[in-house]
Structure 1
Amino acid sequence: MKPGNRKTFNGKRYVFCLIRKKYYLLTKEELVRQKIIYYLIKNRGYNVHEIYVEFNSTFSNIKYRLDILVLKKTRPFMIVECKSPEVKISSKDFDQIMKYYLRFKTQYLVLTNGIKNIILEFKPNGNGIEFLKKIPKNK
């Protein structure tokens, strides 16, 4: 299947997810999610098998559902939180993704509404945080 392939069922539009291998209702947030997935694979060199979509986890009796989790060598590497384009990214959204970071300790966090992207890199050994302009390429 081609990424972003779309179909209409019962008058509703659906988009094919390369990771989950099925069609999902084409909401604005889902479109952002699919564009990021495509970008990670085609432009940044990530492997389909490293990417998990709507990843569910529980920590300290709190349930999490990460939009996108990228693993490297079976360890959490990057979390991507997707919002709809009309959602103005706020401190509430930033708090949400930071909670995910506290749980998974990834090297990278990405918060996007498809228009604005906030990309953070957490330096090893607690040596600071850097704001990046682009999602890093897969090495």
Structure 2
Amino acid sequence: MYVFCLIRKKYYLLTKEELVRQKIIYYLIKNRGYNVHEIYVEFHSTFYNIKNRIDILVLKKKRPFIMVECKSPEVKISSKSFDQIMKYYLRFKSQYLVLTNGIKNIIFEFKNNGIEFLKKIPKNKKRLLTKLN
């Protein structure tokens, strides 16, 4: 079975991890107000000669805003998952990080005085204001 990715504009094999990825993409667009053009999927990057692949990267004003690391539902969110997304953070310095396996979501924001854990991914305020006008 395959699923069509709104961001990459093609069909992908519907693995358990891909299902989690597509649910987050749908949530970002339909529930949080992000634009398809702000979202990148499987964003490739090299940092200190190490290749990385960020599952989902949301840009605001061409800067990293949200990074999402997706795992399959049977994979527990662990310190290894946290270490993986922190490597990406060191490179891109996004404001929000999300770890998810589709069952458990850990969402946190970096602030001047540390990290704050959130219950939901923040809404795209600019897009929501545009919709209201």
State the TM-score, normalized to the length of structure 2. Answer: 0.91
**How far is 1:128 from its partner?**
1.3
Cα RMSD over matched residues? 1.3
Match of 1:30 among 6, 10, 18: 18
For residues 3-47 of structure 1, give each alpha carbon's deviation from its aligned partner in whole angstroms, at most 9, with x where no partner exists. xxxxxxxxxxx0000000000000000000000000000000000
**Number of residue pairs aligned between Structure 1 and Structure 2:** 124
Counterpart-to-counterpart distance in 2, 1:87 and 1:64: 19
For residues 75-100 of structure 1, give each alpha carbon's deviation from its aligned partner in whole angstroms, at most 9, with x where no partner exists. 01110000000111111011000111
SS of alignment partner, residue 59 of structure 2: strand
**How far is 1:74 from its partner?**
0.4
**How far is 1:134 from its partner?**
0.4
**How far is 1:122 from its partner?**
0.4
SS of alignment partner, residue 46 of structure 1: coil
SS of alignment partner, residue 52 of structure 1: strand
5+ residue gaps, structure 2? 125-132
Q: For residue 78 of structure 1, what is the aligned residue in structure 2?
A: 66
1:98 aligns with 2:67: no
Q: For residue 120 of structure 2, what is the aligned residue in structure 1?
A: 134
Counterpart-to-counterpart distance in 1, 2:73 and 2:35: 26
Counterpart-to-counterpart distance in 1, 2:108 and 2:62: 21
Q: For residue 7 of structure 1, what is the aligned residue in structure 2?
A: none
**How far is 1:58 from its partner?**
0.6
For residues 90-114 of structure 1, give each alpha carbon's deviation from its aligned partner in whole angstroms, at most 9, with x where no partner exists. 1101100011111100000000000
5+ residue gaps, structure 1? 1-13
Counterpart-to-counterpart distance in 2, 1:129 and 1:91: 16
Q: Which has the higher contact order (CA 8 A, sep 6+)?
A: 2
Counterpart-to-counterpart distance in 2, 1:111 and 1:42: 19
SS of alignment partner, residue 120 of structure 1: strand
Counterpart-to-counterpart distance in 2, 1:76 and 1:62: 19
**How far is 1:60 from its partner?**
1.1
